Structure 1
Amino acid sequence: MSIKQRDANKNLEQTKSHLQSNHAIHHQAKKNLVQQPVTRFALFLLGTAATILGIYAIARHFSWWQLPYTSIAVIPTEAAQASLPPNINTNFVTAVVDRVGPAVVRIDAAKTVTNRLPDAFNDPFFRDFFGSQVPQPGRRTIRGAGSGFIISPNGRILTNAHVVDGADTVKVRLKDGRSFEGKVLGADPVTDVAVVQIQAQQLPTVKFGNSQQLQPGQWAIAIGNPLGLDNTVTTGIVSATGRSSSDVGIPDKRVNFIQTDAAINPGNSGGPLLNQQGEVIGMNTAIIGGAQGLGFAIPIHTAQRIADQLVARGRVEHAFLGIQMLTLTPEVKQQIASDPNSWLNVDEDRGVLVVRVVPDSPAAKAGLRVGDVIHKLNGQSVTEADAIRQAVENSAIGKDIRLELRRQGRTLNLAVRPGAFPTAQVE
């Protein structure tokens, strides 16, 4: 290697060493500067200012309400949304009320009642003795209010039979304030369904839903006039289906009720029970005194069937056997056996126990007796009295029903031909 080349390499090494030394000094100075409190605070302010400027720049191009979010509100159906004016904050309940409310009416019924006097007051001796002081028969007017809903544009209205029972006058008031005289086309006390007609055209109507596919937990909306408070809306769910009339405490009815926890009070009777689409699934009809969250409605498919017959014939014919029944369980059997006043001798643990046979009824004519335990109806096993009641309700008058029963250890098969339900008779 030449002397000139060695000198060049030596100078290069010295230059690298000098640069490394300067870099170390610069790094140490920078480190010392950052570690000083004032310097750190200044850097913090600089970072904060940069952040604020960045947010401001983004906000000029986007609004917070444009950002995606997840709503926890119940979304109304497309049909419900379409029926509402634009730019209105709403939910599915207000959508239903807005659409169905005009078809819900108030019904005011009045009837005149004559107070009867005891027979003793009609005795001639009694009248001679007391003269003008004998009380005279009095007349008074009983008024009641209920609800109903319009089922045809020409003024046909569905309501409860007990709302218009025995009424001399019926007045129907619409939500828009108009009032009409109503005529009762027919009333069926067995199912508590009645049809009222008013003279009007192009009225708003309800839409019927499917009450045979209801499930507990589905939404339920009640609209009516409870306690004179018109156009009241309450919400809840379908609590249960298939509640028998005996479960509800009105065993003289032939209905499997819808149970709901939507608030129902006197005056709601005859009003609609709606699903979340605004379709009528039932007609509110009963409450249990002193209970909370227990209301009952007639399934709309039952109310429709009865209404069609009332419109066509003015009355409804129900099939009638003429027996009173009790669902038999081991517990019921034990209660009967331990009752000193009971004369029944029950050998069966399950089935439907006949506890009364109406004289001269179809059941009596067919040979049924008190103490019989029914196990089958038309070849199908039955274990509850309500199953037989419902089967009889759905049967035709004059068409035999085959019963298989046990009597004192023997199996018997009887054919019972249902008759027409007498209006004064309670099965």
Structure 2
Amino acid sequence: MRTPARTHLRRVRTHTKLFMNDRMTAGKYILTLFLAVFFSSSCNASDGPLFSLEQNLTDLIFDLSRSVVTVEASQRVPAVELSGSSEEVMRSAVSSGIICDSSGHILVVAGTVVGRDRILVSFDSHSVPAVVVAIDNQSGLALLKSTAHCGGRPVDFSEVRTCAGRMIVAIGNAYGVRSSPSLGFCAGLRDDGLMQFSVQTISGSVGGGVFDLSGQLVGIMTGGLGAQNEATLAVPAYRIPEIIAHLLTQGDRHSGYVGVSSREIEISPPIRINKANHLINAGSKSPVIVKRGILVTSVVPRSPAMRAGIRVGDLIFSVDGVAVNSATGLASYVHQSQPGRIMTIELLRQDRSFSLELQVGHRAIDPIYDMEQPSVPVDYARMIDSLKHSLELLGEEILHLERLLEDDR
């Protein structure tokens, strides 16, 4: 006698068998179709879709490379700094640049040209001198002006503000090869206002362009992420016309500096605080619920942060009355602040809330000399930060255990 359960099981097995047969049939069909396309294109490669794709990419990369130049910036340095000699030597950095207009203006990463005695811009085999027009300390870009036409054509700036998932082409110098292309994808817009891409930042490619497949500039590469620069950061193209206009009409744009390193932490459960204890000003005593904050991990000696009284271990939860949730967002806010202005910082210190005033300092751009420099110092910095974090966690665990022992007593 068939029970309902056995009948249901028989039906499931029957449907499963039919489904598997359908999948096998579909798989055979897809495999046959793939082999037909593959072998048909292999037999006549010049007419196949793969050849067409390759040809289209080749044409696109050639067109885009017409907007990318090589920038060589040199500085005279006493050889005693390098070898103990009293003679002078030239220290150079080779990077990339983007042609902005037909008047000879070129955008580069400021660190590759700041403080240099001579700047040469090269396109193909033609090189011309260039001078620095102005520096944007907020974005880290500098505007050059070539003394003569060096060839090439201006880029088309994309106005897209988000490009996550879209395929891109990054073009810059790579180990002496001009306009070396890399294919990748846009990861999206970060909290600090930069775009992130899944292409490696290669030596000399800093200052090069990231383009979409329509040929428009999406961003200018400013650096990499990770021990081996596995990902690339870039200033978004939609910001660049405003940057150029500011540099041409108002000159240098300054950037703020505080002098702290930090990381964001989540507070669970959230804490309720009364903003009653203040180092400088008496403010509102209304309670605030804090769910996230920025933990100060280091303070630069003689920096604006140290002069204002910020200490390692402070938890910043508000800046100028606005809650802060990420370290990159805080850094971006500071960089966009004008030096000299007063910033109000609210923080927690040993379960007490404080409010203090900080005068924003001036952020200077450090020169980049050796584009071939290995990433070992970056690795050491990451190791030190990781060790500090581990020690902080260990200290918190020790305090927790001490409280438990006191409760047992």
TM-score, length of structure 2 as denominator length = 0.61
d(CA) in 1 for partners of 2:85, 2:179 = 42
Shift of 1:271: 0.9
Q: Conserved in 2, the CA contact under 8 Å of 1:235 and 1:263? A: no
Q: Conserved in 2, the CA contact under 8 Å of 1:258 and 1:299? A: yes
Question: Residue 161 of structure 1 corresponds to which residue in structure 2?
Answer: 110
Shift of 1:197: 0.8
Q: Conserved in 2, the CA contact under 8 Å of 1:222 and 1:264? A: no
Q: Deviations over 1:87-108 (max 9, x none)?
A: x987664454344322211222
Task: Give the match's secondary structure for 2:325.
Answer: coil
Q: How does 1:14-413 map to 2 (within 5 A)?
A: 93-94=57-58, 96-116=60-80, 136-175=85-124, 177-187=125-135, 191-200=139-148, 204-210=153-159, 212-215=161-164, 217-242=165-190, 256-287=193-224, 291=228, 293-301=230-238, 306-328=243-265, 350-358=292-300, 361-364=303-306, 366-413=308-355
Task: Give the match's secondary structure for 1:262.
Answer: coil
Q: Conserved in 2, the CA contact under 8 Å of 1:107 and 1:146? A: yes
d(CA) in 2 for partners of 1:301, 1:392 = 21
d(CA) in 1 for partners of 2:62, 2:80 = 48
Q: Conserved in 2, the CA contact under 8 Å of 1:272 and 1:282? A: yes
d(CA) in 1 for partners of 2:334, 2:350 = 25
Question: Which stretch of structure 1 is more off in the superposition, 105-114 or 201-210?
Answer: 201-210
* C-alpha spacing 1:290/1:164, structure 2 compared with 1 (3 Å): same
d(CA) in 1 for partners of 2:324, 2:81 = 49
Shift of 1:298: 2.9
Shift of 1:199: 2.9
* C-alpha spacing 1:392/1:189, structure 2 compared with 1 (3 Å): closer
* C-alpha spacing 1:214/1:395, structure 2 compared with 1 (3 Å): farther
* C-alpha spacing 1:296/1:314, structure 2 compared with 1 (3 Å): same
* C-alpha spacing 1:149/1:329, structure 2 compared with 1 (3 Å): same
* C-alpha spacing 1:400/1:73, structure 2 compared with 1 (3 Å): farther
1:414 aligns with 2:356: yes
What is the one-letter code of the residue matched to 1:317? Answer: H
d(CA) in 2 for partners of 1:401, 1:300 = 30
What is the one-letter code of the residue matched to 1:278? Answer: G
Q: Conserved in 1, the CA contact under 8 Å of 2:137 and 2:253? A: no
Q: Conserved in 2, the CA contact under 8 Å of 1:93 and 1:221? A: no
Q: Conserved in 2, the CA contact under 8 Å of 1:208 and 1:281? A: yes
What is the one-letter code of the residue matched to 2:214? Answer: Q
Task: Give the match's secondary structure for 2:132.
Answer: strand
* C-alpha spacing 1:273/1:408, structure 2 compared with 1 (3 Å): same
User: RMSD of aligned C-alpha atoms?
Assistant: 3.7
Shift of 1:304: 5.0
What is the one-letter code of the residue matched to 1:234? Answer: S
d(CA) in 2 for partners of 1:179, 1:296 = 28
What is the one-letter code of the residue matched to 2:236? Answer: P
Q: Conserved in 1, the CA contact under 8 Å of 2:67 and 2:98? A: yes
More RCO (CA 8 Å, sep 6+): 2
Q: Conserved in 1, the CA contact under 8 Å of 2:315 and 2:348? A: yes
Question: Which stretch of structure 1 is more off in the superposition, 317-326 or 152-161?
Answer: 317-326
Task: Give the match's secondary structure for 1:222.
Answer: strand
Shift of 1:288: 5.3
Q: Conserved in 2, the CA contact under 8 Å of 1:173 and 1:179? A: yes
Runs of 4+ in 1 over 6 A off after TM superposition: 88-91
* C-alpha spacing 1:136/1:101, structure 2 compared with 1 (3 Å): closer
d(CA) in 2 for partners of 1:218, 1:382 = 30
Q: Conserved in 2, the CA contact under 8 Å of 1:224 and 1:233? A: yes
Q: Conserved in 2, the CA contact under 8 Å of 1:154 and 1:199? A: no
Question: Which stretch of structure 1 is more off in the superposition, 313-322 or 286-295?
Answer: 286-295
What is the one-letter code of the residue matched to 2:90? Answer: T
Shift of 1:155: 0.2
d(CA) in 1 for partners of 2:146, 2:232 = 28
* C-alpha spacing 1:275/1:355, structure 2 compared with 1 (3 Å): same
Shift of 1:236: 1.3
Give the paired residue count.
Answer: 297
Task: Give the match's secondary structure for 2:88.
Answer: strand
What is the one-letter code of the residue matched to 1:235? Answer: L
* Structure number, greater radius of gyration: 1
d(CA) in 1 for partners of 2:230, 2:350 = 44
Q: Conserved in 2, the CA contact under 8 Å of 1:154 and 1:200? A: no
Question: Residue 285 of structure 2 corresponds to which residue in structure 1?
Answer: none
Task: Give the match's secondary structure for 2:178.
Answer: coil
Q: Conserved in 2, the CA contact under 8 Å of 1:100 and 1:205? A: no
* C-alpha spacing 1:278/1:357, structure 2 compared with 1 (3 Å): same
d(CA) in 2 for partners of 1:264, 1:398 = 35
d(CA) in 1 for partners of 2:331, 2:85 = 45
